[in-house]
Structure 1
């Protein structure tokens, strides 16, 4: 199977030797594409090394794009060299360059993370103390990889209020882990998926790392361009899934219409395609009604529903869940176990107690009122700049999707605004091609009304300076 030996006396790390040896064999064409490599145990015996050495080497080969893994089956060779469209990025979500770094005194309109004064510290501290007293050291032991049972039951009751009826719950450590798990479950290099354009860059980055070929469908004010989607699916066969945000979409803030939701489900059922519904905003609505999810009308079990608590609770808690079709739940548990065994027992148990006591509902009522006030205040400030256009009038969420004049470059404008003392996210962050864009996203999640006033003043000054530079370059008539 392997034509090389591991030399234990050379001083070179053993797993690097294994990595280099297999990589060389792949590059020399000694393994055909989709060839299954030896199991970890068999490879360790063949090369007389520990299993952990093989695990490290296989992980490196996967990261470099030479292998792909199928849960419960094994490791398979991709090819000598991956095509450019399968480039594996190291940086992840490039939005981190703008929104999650320490910006010092800069007013941050880039981040969609709620300000810390909104965190329900007292109630959650009480929940932590309660479970520590009740469960003792058990809270620090490994939990069921599927998630703490009582929490899963409480989440099922929570979902019932959203008209989602399911017991197939998988607890994960944040929505980004859910996205990573889905990629590992359903994708191998070259598989096709469909996303909205624009969309969340963190998801695109994760799917690219799994080797996916990503097809973008333009977004309209009520959801995807369905004609474009249908024509694309007629040409592109074997699409694995469609990734979407139905309610208060990031970054546009739109909600899919009921008609388009139903059409999408029909397409998924007809073409046997899964739909990944990423929901982090549906509780943050400013009208009378909480918009229903796609999962709530998913009779054919085609929707993988992701729910994050980052935007509606405390992001550092790193708790989210997936509501899965029954056929995928066992695979999801296996992938989760390989990722980190289980999510924090203390966090799960404390959050279960917090939910069971009804604290989550009073907290949501409280933050909705605060965010609604910030939404109105920021909207009024935006409307003071006539050349700035709110692309879609959202009725919920934590940000505005804005359009600047076509000739402006949102990247250059960002740099100018940052010097003035305010940040936002340039539109190029949300597009797969990463082209220059006359769009940008500003968020009010982490700023109060006074900061909004000051930040929008800086924003307006930067905008006027950019316009002034344009006028200065125009030829005299």
Structure 2
């Protein structure tokens, strides 16, 4: 039969509910384009006879396909395959799977989806002492008093410790993590149909925000040391671009970092063509390669063209949800007002605790310790990838951060979406690359492995399982 529906399908899946087996098989055929979008499915009677099941079984299978967006019934004509919006549906599927697993079953899985540092390395007793000191010092003010721009002490600490007082504390805005920072900035500066340049691939959360603002999104492929600057200039010559969103260190997901030459060239273009750079400074604290030097776009900015966003949640405790942004003077008031309209203020107690933690030197000690521990895990993960997947994937060595981005070689049949689904059945969680592209089909050969929440034994076992699945 044209649709590759094997009449031995039921025999191969004894013990399973028949209509679910048929539904899953047809879904796979549609996802792989063996059944084309809009192609008519076999009639209920014809398919039932071919598979040796009753008509009700096929009716139930087709109903489920319709409910999940894989089929469309036309009255008097039949049932037709429907190609889903891969990115939207994959996002939902990915989120649904992780929510279910993280709520009750995560201990049963090897989790390569982590994007934050592990709480296992955090010295919680030290932080408890800091919290108690803040409560003793500030009393109820620590819980009640709110400052719309953020706790003044924390803003001064950020200015002093992280920027050597080169940034005025009054120009620092505390936000609830990088995601809120991107959202606040977008609401402040983007209008419908404004053009935004992003890296390809890029952080899916940023793509979602820009889409919600109905912006025109233009992708520029990332190279070894950042995006192709010549391609950016060609776009700038033909389009009125509002901003360029970038992750300057260990980009999510590609893992690349910009060299200073590309940063300076992009900053010059921003001045010439009058656009702004939204810099999401992602995990730049975790540098393992001594050849990588830290200079943010913001630190090199001489013309006030960078909107700098930094999250403490990725590297610190995700649950505290604290980050900050530094806006250009032109947008300062708009961005501050947008933040206030979003949630009035970020947790006062946690801001005060983080401020004291930084002032006491604990932050510096914690980051130093984290670098030592994660460098060791990074090296081990790289070794396992090379050993077990070396003939099946290509990858760059990011030299820092908490993940690797792998490209499945052309001679391997499985794509990353199928690998994601099959790996779940073997107790392994990965992130398919399709989530990071405007056109998800461009990411089907890529997947991300994060090593922040996995011990060495599980890293090796998980990569061995992926090797077995990649045929």
Range class of TM-score, shorter chain: 0.7 to 0.9
Q: Distance in 2 between matches of 1:97 and 1:298?
A: 41
Q: How does 1:274-313 map to 2 (within 5 A)?
A: 274-288=276-290, 290-313=293-316
Structure 2 SS opposite 1:102: helix
Q: 1:453 aligns with which of 432, 435, 460?
A: 460
3-state SS of 1:113 partner: coil
Counterpart of 1:428?
434
Partner-residue secondary structure (3-state), 1:283: coil
Q: Is the aligned partner of 1:438 residue 2:445? A: yes
CA contact (8 A) 2:305 2:328 kept: yes
SS at structure 1 position matched to 2:139: helix
Structure 2 residue ranges without an equivalent (≥5): 1-87
1:260 has 2:262 as partner: yes
Between stretches 453-462 and 253-262, larger displacement belongs to 453-462
Distance in 2 of aligned mates of 1:439 and 1:268: 31
- 8 A Cα contact 1:169 1:323, kept in partner: yes
Any idea what the Cα deviations from partners look like across 1:14-53, whole Å, max 9, x if unmatched? xxxxxxxxxxxxxxxxxxxxxxxxxxxxxxxxxxxxxxxx
**1:119 positional shift:** 2.2
Alignment-derived partner of residue 96 in structure 1 = 95
> Is this contact kept in 2: 1:98–1:424, CA < 8 A?
no
Alpha-carbon shift at residue 188 of structure 1 (Å)? 1.6
Preserved contact between residue 109 and residue 422 of structure 1 (Cα < 8 Å): yes
Q: How does 1:77-476 map to 2 (within 5 A)?
A: 96-97=95-96, 102-103=101-102, 104=105, 105-160=108-163, 165-167=167-169, 168-237=171-240, 239-288=241-290, 290-384=293-387, 385-406=389-410, 407-435=413-441, 437-463=444-470, 467=471
Q: After the TM superposition, which segments of 4 or more aligned residues of structure 1 sit over 3 Å from their partners?
A: 89-101, 163-167
Question: Contact 1:92–1:206 at 8 Å: present in 2 too?
Answer: no
Q: In the TM superposition, what whole-angstrom CA distance separates every residue of 1:326-368 from its partner, at most 9, and x where no partner exists?
A: 2222222211111111000101011111111010000001111
| Alignment partners' CA distance in 2, 1:102 and 1:383 | 29
Cα deviation for residue 302 of structure 1 reads 0.3
SS at match of 1:125: helix
What TM-score comes out, normalization by structure 1 length? Answer: 0.75
Distance in 2 between residues matched to 1:109 and 1:228, nearest whole Å: 33
The Cα shift of 1:283 comes to 0.3
1-side partners of 2:89 and 2:266: how far apart?
33
Q: Distance in 2 between matches of 1:413 and 1:92?
A: 15
The CA distance in 2 between the partners of 1:336 and 1:325, in whole Å, is: 15
1:49 equivalent in structure 2? none
Change in Cα spacing, 1:270 to 1:100, as seen in structure 2 (3 Å) is: farther
Q: Deviations over 1:86-145 (max 9, x none)?
A: xxx899888635656525211110121222212231121111101111111111224111
- The one-character-per-residue Cα deviations of 1:292-322 (angstroms, maximum 9, x if unpaired) are 1111100100000101112211111000000
Aligned CA RMSD, in angstroms, stands at 2.0
d(CA) in 1 for partners of 2:139, 2:89: 40
Tell me how far 1:166 sits from its aligned partner: 4.3
The structural deviation recorded for 1:451 is 1.9
Separation (CA, whole Å) in 1 of partners of 2:92 and 2:456: 29
CA gap 1:230/1:114 in 2 versus in 1, 3 angstroms: same
1:458, 1:261 → 2: CA distance?
40
Partners in 2 of 1:400 and 1:227 — Cα distance? 27
8 Å CA contact 1:99–1:108 kept in 2: the answer is no
Counterpart for residue 82 of structure 1: none
CA contact (8 A) 1:166 1:323 kept: no
When residues 96 and 157 of structure 1 are mapped into structure 2, their CA distance, relative to the original with a 3 A threshold, is farther
User: Gaps spanning 5+ residues in structure 1: where?
Assistant: 1-88, 468-477
TM-score, length-normalised on structure 2?
A: 0.76
Q: Which moved more, 1:141-150 or 1:337-346?
A: 141-150
Q: How do 1:47-58 and structure 2 match up within 5 A? A: none
